[in-house]
Amino acid sequence: MIYLMVTYKIREDRLGQANGEITKLLSTVRKQEPDTLVYQVFNPANDQSSFMHFMVFPNTEAHLAHVSARHLKQFVEALLPFCQDGPHYSELRLVDSIASLGHPLKHNPTISRTNINFSNNTTNDKKG
């Protein structure tokens, strides 16, 4: 598995356009990249101009198909002028996971359980 994260910050005056480009990209990934297992875009709740894209690919071939896709090139060309910071790319290493997700590309995420343990402060959230 290949896990990737891309982060960037968009200029406030371009948020509407950026959100439109993100929606367009994910729609195209959903239709044209059947081997992309997960593609999710997040904002911090208190910062609508910062974005984090999280992707999971089953193998190098699927990852290369994504990075060489015309729609990704078009997305980057459209979004780059709106960036105040980034993009910053990171390949991630999965340390451990207990979350069970449905297939996000089909809009069916199901989080069965999330456990967070920081400094002896444990939170257990169960969602159905």
Confidence (pLDDT) at 115: 36
Specify whether 67 is located in the same domain as 104: no
Specify whether 116 is located in the same domain as 104: yes
CA distances to 10, 44, 46, 85, 109 from 105, rounded to whole Å, are 24, 21, 25, 27, 9
Residue range of the domain that includes 100: 96-128
Specify whether 28 is located in the same domain as 88: yes
**Total structural domains in the chain?**
2
Confidence (pLDDT) at 96: 85
pLDDT digits (tens, 9 = 90+) for 58-105: 999 999 999 999 999 999 999 999 999 999 999 999 888 776 655 454
For 120, counting Cβ atoms within 10 Å of its Cβ (0-12 exposed, 13-18 middle, 19+ buried), the class is exposed
pLDDT digits (tens, 9 = 90+) for 14-39: 999 999 999 999 999 999 999 999 99
Specify whether 112 is located in the same domain as 68: no
User: How far, in Å, CA of 22 to CA of 58, rounded?
Assistant: 22
- Secondary structure (DSSP) of 17-47: HHHHHHHHHHHHHHHH-TT--EEEEE--TT-
Specify whether 106 is located in the same domain as 89: no
The answer to whether 7 touches 51, Cβ cutoff 8 Å, is yes
